[in-house]
Each structure stands twice: as C-alpha cells, then as structure tokens.
Amino acid sequence: MRVFRLMGALIVAALLVAGVRVTQAQGTSASSFTLPAGGTATISFTAFCTNFGQKFPAAIQAPNALAPNNVRAALAYIQAQNLYSDPAQALEAQYAIWQLVGATGSPTGGATAQQVVQNATTAPANPQGTSLLDAVTANQVAVTLASWAPIGQPVAIGTTTDNFYGQGTVTVKNNTQQPLTLFMPVGTLFPPGTAG
C-alpha cells in the first residue's frame, strides 16, 4: 500500500503567536516567527497531494518530512503566482506536482501545469531560524494538527472524482524556556491520518 502524503505548500494565511495576530507577507518562501518560551502559535497552511490515485484523506497527521527540492520549487512558484486561490488553476498546479513526483497515469494538464513544471528549478531558500521539523526532532516544540478540510468540491481526476487539495492549521507549542525563531518550510509533508 502506497503512503499518501500531502504537502504544506503555502504557509502565510494566518499566524497567531501568544494571542497577538501577526500577518505575514505572501512571498515565494516560508517566513520565520519568534515563539516565546512556553508560547503557542497557530499556523494556517494549504496543502496539495503528492500521490496520484489515492483517495483524498479525511484526516492528516502532524508534518514529518520535506518534499523533494523540485516539488518545493514548484510550490514556491504556485504560491508566487497565486495559483492556489482559483480551483481551476490549483488543479493545473496539482497536475504539475504529480508530474514532478513521477506519478504514472496522472493527467498532464495544460499550459499552466507546464509553466509550473518549467519553473520548478530551485527550491526556495529557508528563512533564518529553525525548521519546525528540526525543532520537533529536538523536542523543542510540540506540533498538533488543529484543523483539516478539503478545499472546494470534488473534481474529475482521471477516471474518478475526488478532492486534491485542502487547508488546515497546526498548533505549535514551545517546550523550552527560551524564545525560538521557527519556520515551516515550503513543501512540508503531512502523512494521512486515515487510510484512503
């Protein structure tokens, strides 16, 4: 059975740190934030599927890995071009992601999908700070999934109809006695919480 994964692509929508709302500028890479000792933050994200042919997951787990650099570059391009905000453009972006991961039998899409593939050359640079994934490994923070839902209505994908991208939030708690500067990298992977 193949593992179904989602990529947290666009981490800019909302960031709540210690009760103070901080708005991050939308760009082509992740932004860092400082989490006070013992503090919590909520990070909103948009995620695309990496495995073609698997059922869209009803639930996902906390992030645990990064997508390949070409997929991360594609996600940065998708974010910079705002392709995730329109369902038709997002589907084209999804087709490009499946091409980049080498999915067999996935739709190729049109001109937009090809533009994403052509621009998937350089992974975005990480901002200053510690990757959320590294901070979890070092037990500096705890990350829990707070919400997850598909975006829009299911669409025809190949011979089936399903969702292909979603939105969610994770809550990050600083387990240390010092402030931490953190970021959630573009291309963060979220494993499924339920089998598809």
113-147: pLDDT as tens digits: 999 999 999 999 999 999 999 999 999 999 999 99
| Total residue count of the chain as it appears in this document | 196
The CA-based diameter of the chain, rounded to the nearest angstrom, is: 53
The pLDDT value given to residue 29: 53
pTM: 0.83
Which residues lie below 8 Å from residue 98, measured CB to CB, with a gap of 6+? 49, 50, 52, 106, 107
Q: Give pLDDT < 50 ranges for the chain.
A: 1-6, 9-28, 196
Q: How far apart are the first and last CA of the chain?
A: 10
The pLDDT value given to residue 122: 93
How far are the Cα atoms of 14, 131, 161, 162, 188 from residue 66, in angstroms, in the given order? Answer: 21, 11, 27, 24, 5
The pLDDT value given to residue 25: 31
The pLDDT value given to residue 159: 85
